[in-house]
Amino acid sequence: MLKIFLAGQDKKNVIDWKAHGYVICGEADDGELSFPMIKSLKPDIVITDVDMPYVGGLELGKLIKKDMPEVEVIILTDNNNFECAKEAINAGFFGYLLKPVSEEELFGIIDSAAFEIKNKHKERQLQEKYIKRHEADVYNEKLNLFKCMFTASKPVADIIETAAELGITLSSMWYSVSLISLKHTGGVNEAIGEAVNIMGIDIGCLVFDIYFDIKVIVFRADSKEELDNMQDDFFGRFKNFMKEYNHVRYYGGVGTPTGRISELPESVRKAELALAHSYIIGDNLILNSEDARRSVYLKREESSIRDINPKEIDRSCILEFLRFGSQDKTEEFVYEFLDSLGEDSMKLNIFRQYVLVSIYFCVGDFIEGIKLDRNDIEPPDTAADTMRSRDNVTKYVIKIINHALKLREEASGGKYNDIVNEAMRYIEKNYSDEKLSLNLLASHVNFSPNHLSMIFSQQTGHTFIKYLTDFRMNKAKELLMYTSKRSSEISMEVGYKDPHYFSYLFKKTQGMTPTQYRGGCGGTKKMTE
């Protein structure tokens, strides 16, 4: 029910408001008392007398429309004053009635105000849905753009053009990429993630998520000095901010600077290398690749056989990698981890055996932690000749860690398979709905849009928007081939209200217009052909 506030009115107990579909949320005898009550109670409609002590009805209504423009004001008076009515209308009041007012007359104007309120509410909802849909689509377009930047899967000219369409200026003299990984027992704190985004915007960086827990920051500047200063500024702010979050661990890797967009994949690779080092060296570090190698080297040089303490093997960084690492980084991680133990230490057969057993049990604990059988991991044969060299130890450790990561992915894949399959079924059923969006799909499968976007991309190899676009384009090609429907009709049928946008998108994805495609197929075909 819509809420009504009565100011200077004595009609609460005279009229059966609920029978008309309304509820009185508050009332007051004068305007001075009414205004703070209205601000607190937030009614939909205010009915006020013109003549009230302290603050009159016109003044009260103006205050309401200034602070709460969405509230409709109806003013009552026993004075047929045109100027008063004109003033009320100019102030944005909904209506003006002369007393005495019949119940039919009163609810006639109240019902009209209620109709207006409901229409405005629907418009706001539609607008919010459109904004959310647009934001989700833009997010996915940006995510796809950045993935292209980091994999060199598109020509540089296409990347720059796509970026410009998304309102992103890429052209600079210098670039670098950094990675920040945030970890704590409850997952990544959203407040921290949002703070990183704001820092990036403030400094002029591009910040986005590619992985579940990793922020990717792209720095761009017109000089190497400016690039270095920008990085120092960003990470300085980040470290100061993280002092307030002692329960959160962070690791960071800084890629090498480059003057070319085409060389960004190498900057990413170096950032990933530095990130792998930071996992080994310790928590709360931001390293570039040279710093990382230097740190590991110093750590290695400082160790000696006398200093070897098997209990100091850091199992936590192994577990960390098992939780969040990927198979393409396993070799790099294992080499760096074994390096961190010291060359002299690894020369001792007894120490190598201890390392093997320790890592084996660590991997086994992880496997059991994800509800699988630790017997799936091959135990080390410490007496075998294959374990009497560092190289063979390295091969074994890589082997069992990769197997554990494979089991982890299979377990998580099984977890999300049903979700992604349901999402794909929903797209197949509703692709013709022009309102279909990532937000709508996420709501259907009861996931957050960002989380669904990531697992959808991981499982299908495509972003939501690309998958949907490809699906619609394939349906459009079928209709062009096997029916005589006009392009505008096909556009509506595959979910595009605007036929011009459909034609643009078709040409962009297929390399030709719908008409050219149909012509190239030799005209429409019969379904029996």
Q: Where are the domains of the chain?
A: 2-122, 172-295, 303-430, 444-520
Distance between CA atoms of residues 383 and 381, nearest Å: 5
* Choices 3.40.50.300, 3.40.50.11720, 3.40.50.2300, 1.10.287.1060: CATH for 2-122: 3.40.50.2300
Report whether pLDDT(308) > 50.
no
Any idea which residue has 């799909």 for tokens? 441
* φ, ψ dihedrals at 358, nearest 5°: -60, -45
DSSP lists the bridge partners of residue 178 as 217, 254
pLDDT at site 305: 38
Nearest one of 198, 206, 203, 193 to 150, comparing CA atoms: 206
pLDDT at site 185: 47
At 75, is the secondary structure helix, strand, or coil?
A: strand
pLDDT higher at 404 or 349: 404
User: Between the ranges 115-129, 131-145, 201-215, where is the mean pLDDT highest?
Assistant: 115-129
* φ, ψ dihedrals at 53, nearest 5°: -70, 155
155: tokens are 């020509």
> For 5-19, 208-222, 307-321, 435-449, which range has the lowest pLDDT when averaged over its residues?
307-321
Mean pLDDT of 7-12: 71
* φ, ψ dihedrals at 170, nearest 5°: -100, -30
The answer to whether the beta carbons of residues 4 and 46 sit under 8 Å apart is: yes
pLDDT interval class at 128 (50, 70, 90): confident
65-to-24, 77, 256, 366, 486 alpha-carbon distances in Å: 20, 19, 56, 61, 50
What DSSP string runs through 417-451?
A: HHHHHHHHHHHHHHTT-TT--HHHHHHHHT--HHH
Q: What is the mean pLDDT of the chain?
A: 80
* φ, ψ dihedrals at 57, nearest 5°: -65, -40
285: tokens are 């570090």
Type of residue at 450:
N
Q: What is the pTM of this model?
A: 0.42
C-beta atoms surrounding 73 within 10 Å: 28
Report whether pLDDT(492) > 90.
yes
* φ, ψ dihedrals at 87, nearest 5°: -60, -40
Nearest one of 472, 434, 466 to 453, comparing CA atoms: 466
User: Between the ranges 58-67, 249-258, 444-453, where is the mean pLDDT highest?
Assistant: 58-67
pLDDT at site 296: 46
Mention every residue, 6+ apart, whose C-beta is less than 8 A from residue 331.
398
> For 293-297, 432-436, 443-447, which range has the lowest pLDDT when averaged over its residues?
293-297
Q: The dihedral of CA 228, 233, 235, 239: what is its sign?
A: positive
pLDDT at site 127: 75
Distance between CA atoms of residues 388 and 115, nearest Å: 84
pLDDT tens digit string along 170-191?
888 999 999 888 776 444 456 6
| Topology of domain 444-520, CATH | Arc Repressor Mutant, subunit A (1.10.10)
pLDDT interval class at 453 (50, 70, 90): confident
pLDDT tens digit string along 26-82?
999 888 899 999 999 999 999 998 888 889 889 999 999 999 999 999 988 876 666
Report whether pLDDT(427) > 90.
yes
Report whether pLDDT(263) > 80.
yes
C-beta atoms surrounding 273 within 10 Å: 21
The answer to whether the beta carbons of residues 219 and 178 sit under 8 Å apart is: yes
pLDDT tens digit string along 101-112?
888 888 999 999
Mean pLDDT of 427-435: 91
Give the length of the chain. 529
Mean pLDDT of 508-521: 85
Distance between CA atoms of residues 210 and 457, nearest Å: 10
pLDDT tens digit string along 329-388?
788 888 888 887 777 667 766 677 667 777 887 888 788 777 777 777 887 765 455 566
Report whether pLDDT(310) > 60.
no
pLDDT tens digit string along 151-161?
777 888 888 88
Nearest one of 176, 177, 178, 196 to 188, comparing CA atoms: 196
- Please name the helix (run of DSSP H) or strand (run of DSSP E) that holds residue 214, with its range, or none: strand 214-221
pLDDT at site 525: 46
Assess if CATH 3.30.70.1230 describes domain 172-295: yes
pLDDT tens digit string along 458-476?
677 788 888 999 999 999 9
Nearest one of 67, 97, 254 to 176, comparing CA atoms: 254
pLDDT tens digit string along 209-240?
755 467 889 999 999 999 999 999 999 999 88
Contacts of 518-525 with C-beta under 8 Å, sequence gap 24+, read 518/480, 518/481, 521/480, 521/481, 524/480, 524/481, 524/482, 524/483, 524/484, 525/481, 525/482
At 73, is the secondary structure helix, strand, or coil?
A: strand
Cα 176 from chain centroid? 23
Q: What is the DSSP letter of 313?
A: -
Report whether pLDDT(300) > 60.
no
Mean pLDDT of 15-20: 87
What are the strands, taking DSSP E only, across 173-263?
A: 174-183, 206-209, 214-221, 249-254
At 169, is the secondary structure helix, strand, or coil?
A: coil
Mean pLDDT of 396-414: 80
Burial class (CB in 10 A: 0-12, 13-18, 19+), 95: buried
Nearest one of 472, 464, 462, 480 to 496, comparing CA atoms: 472
Mention every residue, 6+ apart, whose C-beta is less than 8 A from residue 478.
none
> For 125-129, 186-190, 234-238, 407-411, which range has the lowest pLDDT when averaged over its residues?
186-190
DSSP lists the bridge partners of residue 74 as 47, 95
495: tokens are 């979910």
pLDDT at site 473: 94
Cα 230 from chain centroid? 25
Cα 435 from chain centroid? 20
The answer to whether the beta carbons of residues 124 and 238 sit under 8 Å apart is: no
Distance between CA atoms of residues 179 and 272, nearest Å: 7
pLDDT higher at 52 or 280: 52
At 137, is the secondary structure helix, strand, or coil?
A: helix
DSSP lists the bridge partners of residue 179 as 216, 253
